[in-house]
Amino acid sequence: MLVMGVLSRGRREHWKFLMKAPVFHRRAFPEAMALAIIGCHFRRVATALYCISEALGNRDR
């Protein structure tokens, strides 16, 4: 929550999502939160993989 809501560049969209999800999609709120967490982890993994490929000099291309 701290990373997405305070430190990330998309924090405004994160808070809008957190405010709208329980109001307009009450039944789907738990799934929405789970997907938000999965998205946060995906971003971390994708960024880490990109940094590794840059450090290796993109030898696979």
The pLDDT, as a whole number, for residue 61 is 54
Q: What is the mean pLDDT of residues 5-15?
A: 76
The pLDDT, as a whole number, for residue 5 is 64
Q: Which residue has the tokens 């799934």?
A: 31
Q: Which tokens go with 3?
A: 């990373």
Task: Name the DSSP class of 57.
Answer: T
Of 22, 55, 18, which Cα lies nearest the Cα of 39?
18
Q: Classify residue 12 as exposed, middle or buried by CB count within 10 Å of its CB (0-12, 13-18, 19+).
A: exposed
Task: Give the integer Cα–Cα distance in Å for 59 and 34.
Answer: 35
- The structural domains of the chain, with segments of one domain joined by +, span 2-55
Q: What is the mean pLDDT of residues 18-28?
A: 90
On the question of pLDDT at 17 being above 80, the answer is yes
